[in-house]
Amino acid sequence: MSSITSISALDVPRIKSDFPVFEELFGGRELAYLDSANSSQKPRQVLEGITEFYEHSYANVHRAVYELGERATAGYEGAREKTRAFLGADSTREIIFTRNGTEAINLVAHAWGLSELGPGDVVVSTVLEHHSNFVPWQYVAKRTGAEFAVIGADDNGELDLEQLDAIAGRGRVRIVAFGLISNSIGTVNPVEALVGWAREHGAVTVVDGCQAAPHRSLDVGSLGVDFLALTGHKMLAPSGIGVLWGRQALLNSMEPFNLGGEMIRSVTIEESTWNELPNKFEAGTPPIAQAYGLGLAIDYLTGIGLERIEAHEHDLTTYAMESLADAEGVSVLGPPAERRGGIVSFTLDSAHPHDVAQILDSHGVAVRAGHHCTQPAMDHFGIPATTRASFYLYNTRTDVDRLVEALADVRATFA
């Protein structure tokens, strides 16, 4: 955990001025955008950079022999190098561009899971997972005859590691799938313990980094995981671009996922052979400008500094939890601020989350209401849905104050 005192505070007004969306008024007020865990807003540097790329450097990649094509390839591959450095990976061969985080996980589930798993094997996910790192494993286990096991959680929404022994007793543990940070309640999961346990059993770890990569510095080497998935749209980049990082030996041993152009070495009527990494897993024309945009987003984030962003969000989260603790009728789910990301999920005694979100919207406060694609986690808490506020580099304590004020209006409406 980084120390807040040694890190200089973010200049939020200046950061905000990079985001055109904050120039528009919502409900007559500046937007209090508290839904970045769902998708982030985009800064000018990304938006204008993509437009410029389309205007001056766009063609298909890897095949055009004219200058424009070379510029496009340089832009696309440049983004791969930026992503490699961002994740501390050894080689750009380990950086696979996908459509989003969901596709990155599905790639592993299909290309590794379907051919490696079978009866007697145990595929492990957690009760806190986003459906994208839960449903593919449930499905692949069913398809292959492997057993699907789920690590439960305690009342705080923290994984119950005491269940690990019992899970290991059910067979040969092959996959351990978990997120770095829970998207619905914000829990920071114990990576070290889970990776250690997985290694002990020779299992492969498939880690959802979608809620962590935009907000804190990640290094795949020190995390010790085998696969890491992330998505661009939650980290200031456009939608339509995701990343799968994987260990080269594993990626090399895997069957392809999507088949077609670009991913082949040669094709004859009799058979086809596969291209080298990363092309083997990038069939068809990739999301070129979106990848380029991800590179620009990484430039923007690293220019500010992930440690500073993390510290800023930690301050907002702590402040929000203190403010909501005093707000009447509000129950916050999940662990204390020290063990969570910039996500605060809560219920209100008198109103359904959808009604809460609707009334907050009329105050210019944007939050997410629903099960957040984590139905098993909602079932764990015995509730159908929550209202979720999530923070990013452009949020302020004023946004939190406005949330709390608007919640008082919700309560008054439903009193």
Partner 1 sequence: MSDLYRELILDHYKNPRNHGELDPCDAHAQGQNPLCGDDIAISMNFSGDDVSEVRFTGRGCAISQAAASMLMELVEGRSVTELAELPKEELLDEIGVPLEKNPARLKCALLSLGVLKLALHRAKGTPLPEEWVGFEER
Residues near partner 1 (CB under 8 A)? 351-355, 358-359, 361-362, 369-371, 384-385, 409, 413-414
CB of 341 to partner 1, least distance (A): 24
Residue 373 a catalytic site member: yes
Question: Nearer Cβ to partner 1, position 122 or 351?
Answer: 351
CB of 376 to partner 1, least distance (A): 13
Question: Nearer Cβ to partner 1, position 237 or 369?
Answer: 369
Question: Nearer Cβ to partner 1, position 104 or 407?
Answer: 407
Question: Nearer Cβ to partner 1, position 172 or 352?
Answer: 352
Q: How far is Cα 343 from Cα 44, in angstroms, rounded to an integer? A: 25
Asked if residue 386 lies in contact with residue 346, where contact means CB atoms within 8 angstroms, the answer is yes
Asked if residue 368 lies in contact with residue 390, where contact means CB atoms within 8 angstroms, the answer is yes
Question: Nearer Cβ to partner 1, position 251 or 369?
Answer: 369
Side chain identity at residue 16, one-letter code: K
SS3 content of the chain, % helix, strand, coil (to 5): 45, 20, 35
Q: In the 8-state DSSP scheme, what is residue 26?
A: E
Catalytic residue among 373, 383, 401, 414: 373
Q: Is 6 left (phi over 0), alpha (psi -120 to 50) or beta?
A: alpha
Q: How far is Cα 279 from Cα 339, in angstroms, rounded to an integer? A: 38
Please report, for residues 32, 45, 116, 180, 255, the alpha-carbon distance to residue 250 in angstroms, rounded to integers and kept in the order given: 43, 36, 11, 21, 10
CB of 286 to partner 1, least distance (A): 31
CB of 147 to partner 1, least distance (A): 25
Strands across the sheet containing 343-348:
330-333, 343-348, 386-390, 368-370
CB of 330 to partner 1, least distance (A): 18
User: Could you tell me which residues come within 8 angstroms of residue 160 by beta carbon, excluding any fewer than 6 positions away?
Assistant: 151, 152, 153, 154
Using DSSP's 3-state secondary structure scheme, residue 410 falls into helix
| Residues carrying an active site annotation | 373
